[in-house]
Structure 1
Amino acid sequence: MSFLRDNGLSITLSLMTAATIAGMLVAGVETFNHEASLHNGSPVTLVDYVFSGHFLSALFENWESEFLQMTAYVCLTAFLYQRGSAESKDPDAGDTEVDEGPRHRKEDPAVPWPIRRGRLVRTLYSYSLAIVLAALFVLSFVLHLYGSAAAANLEAMRHGEPSFDIWTRLADSEFWFECFQNWQSEFLSTLVLVVLSIFLRFRGSPESKPVAAPTAQTGK
C-alpha cells in the first residue's frame, strides 16, 4: 500500500493518459472509417489505425505542444519572475542557487550520482530536466510532421491530387496552423495559472500558496 501512496499521482496520471488515448483511438478509427466510406475507401482495423497518419498527427501534435509548454516553463521560471505568483521565485530573494548544497556533499550516498562525477556531467545534470523535455518536444514535432504528411498525402490521393514529400509539408502553412493552434493555447494556460495563483488558492496543493498567504507573497 505504501507504493500506491508514494506513487499515487504518477499512477493516476498514467491511467488517465492511457484511458484518454484509448478513447481517442476508438473515436478516431470511427471518424477515419467514416471519411473513408465517403470516398469509397476501405475501412481499417484499430491496429492499422494506430500507425496511420491521421492518428499519429493528432497524437503528437498535442504531445509536441505540451512538451514545448513544459520546456518553456522550466526555463523561463529559472530567470523571470512574477511577483505574488505561486509559480515564481521571489524576486526579492536574489539569484542564490537553491541547490548549491549538494555540490559540497559529494560523499553523501543520497546525492544523485551525477553530482559525484566531473564538471561536465554535473553541468548536464543541472539542466537535464529542460534538456530531456526539449528532446521530447523535438521528437514529438518530427513525429507530428511525419503523421501530418502521411494524412495530407492520403487526403490528396482521395481527391486525385499529387502527393508531396515531408519537406514540402514542413513548408506548408496548414502544418504550421496545426502547430500554432496548439502552441498558443499552452502558453495561454500557463499564463493563466501563473496569474491566477496570485489571487486564488487550492488548499493542500503544492501549486498553490497557503490559503491565508498574502496576495503579494511570491512562491509556495
Structure 2
Amino acid sequence: MRRFLRDNGLSLAFGVLFLGSLVGQALAGVAEFNERRESEGLAAVSLGRYLTSSSFAVDTMENWQSEYLQFSLYVFATVWLVQRGSPESKEEDQVGPESDEDQLVGRHAGPGSPAWAAAGGSRTALFSRSLGLLMGGIFLLTWAAMSIAGWAAFNAEQLTSHQDPVSWLGYLGHADFWSRTFQNWQSEMLAVGSMAIFAVYLRQRGSPESKPVGAAHGDTGQTG
C-alpha cells in the first residue's frame, strides 16, 4: 500500500484536492443560491436539491470544459508549435509528429512498449493520437453538458422574471452562453501562455515542469 501511494501520489493528491474543492463549491454554492432565492422571496433549497440543479451543473461544467479545452489544445499545439527555451516545448528541429523511430512505433517498438504501439496499421494510428482524442472528446462532452445546463438555468431565470424561455438552439446564440464560454477560455489561454514563456526564464528546482536551475535560458525541452 505504501508503494502504491508513493507511485501514484500525484494523481491521488490531486484527486483529493479535486473532491475537497468540489465539496467546497457545493457548500458555498448552495449558500449563495439560497441567499439569492430568499432575496427574491423564494424558499431555500436543500443541499441535495441544489446538487441536482441546473445552477450547480452549469457552474461545474463551465470549469471542466475550459480545463479540457486547455489540455486538448496544448496536446495538439505542441506537436507543431515550439517555444525556444521552454521545457513545455519540443526542440525546434522536432516539429511535427516525428518519425516512427523517434516515437518507438512499429518495428522500432521496444520490449516494454504498449502492444498497440507495435501492432501497426489502424491500431497504432489510433493509439498514437489517443491522448488528444480523449481530451478533445471530454471537452466536447463537457461543453455540450454546459450548454444544456446553462440553457436550463437561463430559462429558470427567465421564468422567475416572467419572461419567455428560449429554445436550446436559441440559447446557443445568446450572449449568456458565449459570456460563460469566453470568460473561462480566456483564463485558460492566459495560464498556458504564461507558463510557456515564464518557464524560459524562471525555475522551480526539482519540478519536471521546469528546466534544471543551471540550464541556459535558450535550452529547449529540458526538464529538471
> Normalization by structure 2: what TM-score?
0.92
- Residue-by-residue CA offset, 1:18-62 (whole Å, 9 max, x unaligned): 000000000001111111112222222111111211111111101
The alpha-carbon distance between structure 1 residues 94 and 174, as it changes in their structure 2 partners (threshold 3 A), is: closer
Question: Quick one: distance in 1 between partners of 2:105 and 2:118?
Answer: 9
Deviation at residue 145 of structure 1 after TM alignment: 0.6
The alpha-carbon distance between structure 1 residues 114 and 93, as it changes in their structure 2 partners (threshold 3 A), is: closer
Letter in 2 for 1:134: G
The aligned residue for residue 188 of structure 1 is: 190
Letter in 1 for 2:136: A
The aligned residue for residue 49 of structure 1 is: 50
Residues 65 and 137, structure 1, Cα contact 8 Å, conserved in 2: yes
Residues 105 and 111, structure 1, Cα contact 8 Å, conserved in 2: no
The aligned residue for residue 61 of structure 1 is: 62
Q: Which runs of 5+ in 1 are unaligned?
A: none
Question: Quick one: distance in 2 between partners of 1:123 and 1:187?
Answer: 29
Deviation at residue 81 of structure 1 after TM alignment: 0.8
Deviation at residue 107 of structure 1 after TM alignment: 8.0
Question: Quick one: distance in 2 between partners of 1:47 and 1:32?
Answer: 13
The aligned residue for residue 101 of structure 1 is: 104
- Residue-by-residue CA offset, 1:69-123 (whole Å, 9 max, x unaligned): 1011010111111111111111045654474324225683x32132243511110
Residues 82 and 95, structure 2, Cα contact 8 Å, conserved in 1: no
Letter in 1 for 2:92: P
Identity in percent: 35
Residues 67 and 133, structure 1, Cα contact 8 Å, conserved in 2: yes
Residues 105 and 120, structure 2, Cα contact 8 Å, conserved in 1: no
Residues 39 and 158, structure 1, Cα contact 8 Å, conserved in 2: no
Comparing 112-121 and 71-80, the one that deviates more: 112-121
- Residue-by-residue CA offset, 1:115-154 (whole Å, 9 max, x unaligned): 2435111101100000000010001101111111111111
The aligned residue for residue 178 of structure 1 is: 180
The aligned residue for residue 75 of structure 2 is: 74
Q: What is the RMSD computed on CA atoms of the aligned residues?
A: 1.6
Is 1:84 the equivalent of 2:81?
no
Question: Quick one: distance in 1 between partners of 2:62 and 2:95?
Answer: 38
Question: Quick one: distance in 1 between partners of 2:31 and 2:130?
Answer: 40
Letter in 2 for 1:40: G
The aligned residue for residue 203 of structure 1 is: 205
Q: Give the SS at the match of 2:76.
A: helix
- Residue-by-residue CA offset, 1:174-219 (whole Å, 9 max, x unaligned): 2101100110110111010000010000010001000000011101
The aligned residue for residue 123 of structure 1 is: 125
Q: Which runs of 5+ in 2 are unaligned?
A: none
Comparing 94-103 and 182-191, the one that deviates more: 94-103
Is 1:152 the equivalent of 2:180?
no
Deviation at residue 8 of structure 1 after TM alignment: 0.3
The alpha-carbon distance between structure 1 residues 51 and 85, as it changes in their structure 2 partners (threshold 3 A), is: same
Question: Quick one: distance in 1 between partners of 2:47 and 2:121?
Answer: 49
Question: Quick one: distance in 2 between partners of 1:99 and 1:24?
Answer: 44
The aligned residue for residue 165 of structure 1 is: 167
Residues 106 and 119, structure 2, Cα contact 8 Å, conserved in 1: no
Question: Quick one: distance in 1 between partners of 2:102 and 2:134?
Answer: 19
Q: Kindly indicate whether structure 1 or structure 2 has the higher relative contact order, using CA contacts under 8 Å at least 6 residues apart.
A: 1
Residues 64 and 141, structure 1, Cα contact 8 Å, conserved in 2: yes
